[in-house]
Amino acid sequence: MSINSFGHLFRVTTWGESHGPAIGATVDGCPPGVPVTEKVLQHWLDKRKPGQNKYTTQRREADAVRILSGTFEGVTTGTPVQLMIENTDQRSKDYSDIRDKFRPGHADITYFRKYGIRDYRGGGRSSARETASRVAAGGLAREAIKAIVPDLQITGYMVQMGPHTIDRDRFDWDQIERNPFWVPDANAAIKWADYLDSLRKSGSSVGAVIEVTARNVPAGLGAPVYGKLDTDLAAAMMSINAVKGVEIGEGMSAAMLTGELNADEIRMGPGGPEFSSNHAGGVLGGISTGQDVVVRFAVKPTSSILTPRKTITRTGEETEIITKGRHDPCVGIRAVPVGEAMMACVLLDHLLLHRGQVGGNRGVIG
């Protein structure tokens, strides 16, 4: 069986294949009264859209989103919002050579073994194209969040590409929008451009680490112990194509800390409790502390490369394959708006769950 929905109350079901007529997201549980237009959603889709510079796939999709239901006179009504994006540049002929071969590192072989049938055109359902639906849903989530917590801000950016990491001392929020890598370090942006250019020319690819930070998140979000905020974020990020690791706050490095270093001390600030540090990444016991919520995820290099790789055919014969076509040397770049979208969906979902909290927030501190 397949499970194509996520979320508890803000529930997103994505549908569609890379080379079918359309893809989209069926969003149930969006609160009523949220102003939303196709134009507002389009902004986020454009951010993810391929073919914008030489570092991303040259597939050209208009990626124009249509709202087919759930709004009336520009405002959500509380009924399901259907967001549809028609596929315009399908070029299915490009994929005829992979019809009977399984591309290493791709989901070709696993879909085939699971379902006994697969839409081989561009990866079908397993294509990263599916993430456009997430970005559309995430755009809607952002508008709903805005109506509930106006100053909550979600920002994604790259912190590592291949062996190259950013210099945290140079971290500058304003740089993120000024380079094609969404990197918050101007120096890194320059170096990475050269690095990626040479990778692209050699037909190779490389992985990346994306960080998404949410600022001004209210304390109290999270549904322990199996709908913890960090649990849901881990699931959300790991569900993105090519992601192999997820970290909250200190992440894997938490293993190297002692208890003294790790425990963020608490003090009283003007608006309530504050913390001396944020090793926790804004989550304790699965519930938000009021600090920045910080999540990172690693994206593996795209498996579509020009170097021949050994594989087998559908009938079990050994062969080789080169994946031509239009591909990204670093899919991590386009994963940035996708990570933001997932953060938006998870946070809205928990805002709605917490709104339903009867009797909560009674014990206000201070």
φ, ψ of residue 354 in degrees (nearest 5): -75, -30
Least CB distance from residue 91 to a copy of itself, whole Å?
17
Interface map 36-75 toward a copy of itself (x if CB under 8 A): ------------------------------x-xxx-x--x
In the range 235-274, which residues lie near a copy of itself by CB under 8 A?
Answer: 235, 237-239, 241, 244-268, 273
Q: How far apart are CA 274 and CA 280, in angstroms?
A: 13
For Cα atoms 293, 297, 161, give the angle at the middle one, nearest 5 degrees.
120
In the range 209-238, which residues lie near a copy of itself by CB under 8 A?
Answer: 209, 219-228, 230-235, 237-238
Q: How far, CA to CA in Å, does 315 sit from each of 100, 101, 248?
A: 8, 9, 43
In the range 285-344, which residues lie near a copy of itself by CB under 8 A?
Answer: 285-290, 296, 298-305, 307, 309-312, 314-318, 332
DSSP string computed for 4-45: -EE-SSSEEEEEE-TTSSEEEEEEE-PPTT-B--HHHHHHHH
Size of the site for a copy of itself (CB under 8 A): 166
Q: Which stretch binds a copy of itself (CB under 8 A): 49-57, 102-110, 168-176, 180-188?
A: 102-110
Q: Which stretch binds a copy of itself (CB under 8 A): 41-49, 57-65, 105-113, 174-182?
A: 105-113
Least CB distance from residue 68 to a copy of itself, whole Å?
5
Least CB distance from residue 178 to a copy of itself, whole Å?
22
Least CB distance from residue 200 to a copy of itself, whole Å?
11
Chosen residue from 52, 92, 153, 204 binding a copy of itself by CB under 8 A: 204
In the range 76-95, which residues lie near a copy of itself by CB under 8 A?
Answer: 77-82, 84
Of 174 and 308, which has the nearer Cβ to a copy of itself?
308
Instruction: Say if residues 333 and 158 touch (Cβ distance below 8 Å).
Output: yes
Q: Which stretch binds a copy of itself (CB under 8 A): 40-48, 109-117, 169-177, 179-187?
A: 109-117
Residue 143 lies near a copy of itself (rule: CB under 8 A): no
Contacts of 334 (CB under 8 A, 6+ apart): 48, 50, 56, 128, 131, 328
* Binding-site residue ranges for NADP(+): 48, 54
Q: How far apart are CA 106 and CA 172, in angstroms?
A: 35
Of 68 and 190, which has the nearer Cβ to a copy of itself?
68
Of 127 and 174, which has the nearer Cβ to a copy of itself?
127
3-state secondary structure at position 298 = strand
Least CB distance from residue 204 to a copy of itself, whole Å?
5
- Rounded-to-10 torsion of CA 248, 249, 251, 253: 180
Tokens of 238: 């790991």
Q: Residue 54 CB: number of other CB atoms within 10 A? A: 12
Residue 185 lies near a copy of itself (rule: CB under 8 A): no
Cross-strand pairs, 180: none
Chosen residue from 208, 336, 343, 344 binding a copy of itself by CB under 8 A: 208
Instruction: Say if residues 330 and 208 touch (Cβ distance below 8 Å).
Output: yes
3-state secondary structure at position 285 = coil
